[in-house]
Amino acid sequence: MLTIDDLIQKIKFYSPGADTDLIRLAYDYAKKAHEGQKRLSGEPYINHCLATAMNLAEMKLNQNIVIAGLLHDVPEETMPDNPEVALKEIKHNFGEEVSTLVYGITKLGKIKYRGMERYLENLRKMFIAMAEDVRVIFIKFADRIHNLETLDAQPPAKQKRIALETMEIYAPIANRLGMGEIKGKLEDLSFKYLYPKDYEELKTDVSKKYKLKGECLKKIRLKLLKAVAGFSVEQNNASESKTKNAERIKIYSIHGRTKRLWSIFNKLKTKNAEDLSRIYDLVALRVIVNTVAECYTVLGIIHQIWKPLKGRIKDYIAQPKPNGYQSLHTTVFCDDGEIVEFQIRTKKMHDEAEYGVAAHWYYDEKGSVAPANNELKWVKELTKWKKEFEENQKFLETLKIDVFQNRIFIFTPKGDVIDLPENSTPIDFAYTLHTDLGDKCTGAKVNDKIARLDTKLQNGDVVEIITDRNKKNPSSDWLRFVKTGTAKNKIKNRLQKTKKESI
């Protein structure tokens, strides 16, 4: 059973200066407020508060966010009739920042609608909260993870609803915030309730497979460690004039990471592979080092020992994924014919891959890295769209296509990167850059060659839009092939306007 001491120990580890007295005080306060309340599972309510706070500490979030996690249910659950009183007290005891966070969570609160209405209202609230203060969403994730972990206690209908809502709303948002670890947890916990039979079957199959692979991975790991150590010695001998440890590569850790069940399940479905042995990244070895240069050196060493598979070397350091993910990936034929994927990254890239935007908070506060607010640009855009598309239904459709789909990177001739949903066309690209560019578009060059306007763009394409200043209207034909809601709506708006003007 989790205790407050566990929580404090955890925080001390990544934030030695944290005010542990204040954290204890928050714990005692929450415990007293929830006195006598029980979760459906029969556990004392405070366990849920503690688990939520622990999930936040797992993301290395700062003391105030963890404290807000401990207190997140106090206003709503202990003073439902006047939560303002509780909030005032929290502000008095724990300061403005904590009370603002708890207020944010309270505002998200409970949703009374049903079906589609409920879905929309939920999305709307989540996005507004996120645009205002993304930390509120971290607390919501931490809270949801523990609710899913204790979902067995809920009636079956509610289990399904919560699992579905998590899959459709929470996980995609976590993904777009670059929080891979959180997204994976949310999905696997929901998978269990949405497709119980598939979940159990896959779990059994996969664990058999892991047992087989385990031994082999141990050997590979040792071999790589030796090779890396050998490499640094050789370098030192070769360049006598250099200081002795200059070329030494420090490996933080090499650990196996197992693929999430939900993502295996989907891969099996889409690839028609039907067979776990065709999934090469079922187990991957993660190599965590200090610097970017060391990442490339380790990749070189791996390729010297084992033969890489064609087309499986990916440099997400030079070209990060749209959600900010960075790593080098390669898949190699190991001894005994085993196929193994390696993922090589720095410590910082690792934290960011697991906790995304939340990790930026940690690094920003340590002052070692420039603030990275790029990820939040799309959140701001969402609030803008919200104004553009007044009807909820339209907003939802746009959101589902433009935000939650797989993304590709497209470059402008100047080298700016625009991320678009898969199968986007030059017209989508034009409208994403600027409405005028879309309206006046007459042609496009993709990688320096004239291309049709309905060309499906590929990741990494360089696209140049050709315009005619005198052109007034987009073509209504474009509506047949554009992919993004943004382009569709802008074309329709422009055409409607012209129609009105000509009457």
Structure token digits, residue 445: 């060059």
CB atoms within 10 A of CB 485: 23
Shortest distance, CB of residue 142 to Mn ion, whole angstroms?
A: 9
Structure token digits, residue 28: 């005692």
x/- mask, Mn ion, residues 142-171, rule CB under 5 A, reads -x----------------------------
Smaller CB distance to Mn ion: residue 169 or 206? 169
Q: Give the interface size with Mn ion as a residue count (CB under 5 A).
A: 2
Rounded-to-10 torsion of CA 354, 411, 384, 326: 10
Task: Establish if 51 lies at the interface with Mn ion (CB under 5 A).
Answer: no
Shortest distance, CB of residue 382 to Mn ion, whole angstroms?
A: 25
Smaller CB distance to Mn ion: residue 20 or 150? 150
Shortest distance, CB of residue 144 to Mn ion, whole angstroms?
A: 8
Shortest distance, CB of residue 146 to Mn ion, whole angstroms?
A: 7
Shortest distance, CB of residue 48 to Mn ion, whole angstroms?
A: 6
Structure token digits, residue 373: 């607010």
Smaller CB distance to Mn ion: residue 27 or 429? 27
Shortest distance, CB of residue 228 to Mn ion, whole angstroms?
A: 45
Smaller CB distance to Mn ion: residue 58 or 73? 73
Smaller CB distance to Mn ion: residue 11 or 68? 68
Smaller CB distance to Mn ion: residue 143 or 181? 143
Do the beta carbons of residue 345 and residue 330 sit within 8 Å? Answer: no
x/- mask, Mn ion, residues 66-105, rule CB under 5 A, reads -------x--------------------------------
Binding segment toward Mn ion, per CB under 5 A, in 11-19, 141-149, 407-415, 440-448 = 141-149
Smaller CB distance to Mn ion: residue 143 or 351? 143
Smaller CB distance to Mn ion: residue 143 or 464? 143
The residue at minimum Cβ distance from Mn ion is 143
Binding segment toward Mn ion, per CB under 5 A, in 104-112, 140-148, 170-178, 440-448 = 140-148
- With CA atoms as reference, report the closest residue to 430 among 451, 450, 453: 453
Question: Could you please report the per-residue DSSP string of 145-172?
Answer: HHHHHTGGGS-HHHHHHHHHHIIIIIHH
Cβ neighbors of 258 (< 8 A, separation 6 or more) are 206, 210, 282, 283
User: What residues from 261 to 320 belong to the interface with Mn ion (CB under 5 A)?
Assistant: none
Separation CA 326–CA 320 (nearest Å): 5
Smaller CB distance to Mn ion: residue 73 or 428? 73
Separation CA 186–CA 137 (nearest Å): 13
Do the beta carbons of residue 8 and residue 23 sit within 8 Å? Answer: yes
Long-range Cβ pairs for the range 64-67 (8 Å, 24+): 64/94, 64/95, 64/97, 64/98, 64/101, 65/101, 65/135, 65/138, 65/139, 66/7, 66/11, 66/23, 67/22, 67/23, 67/26, 67/94, 67/98
x/- mask, Mn ion, residues 442-481, rule CB under 5 A, reads ----------------------------------------
Query: From the CA atom positions of the chain, what is the Rg in Å?
Result: 26
Shortest distance, CB of residue 110 to Mn ion, whole angstroms?
A: 11
DSSP secondary structure code for residue 265 in this structure: H
Residue ranges of the alpha helices (H) in 291-376? Answer: 292-305, 347-366
Structure token digits, residue 299: 């990749």
Binding segment toward Mn ion, per CB under 5 A, in 96-104, 139-147, 419-427, 453-461 = 139-147
Shortest distance, CB of residue 31 to Mn ion, whole angstroms?
A: 15
Contact set with Mn ion (CB under 5 A): 73, 143
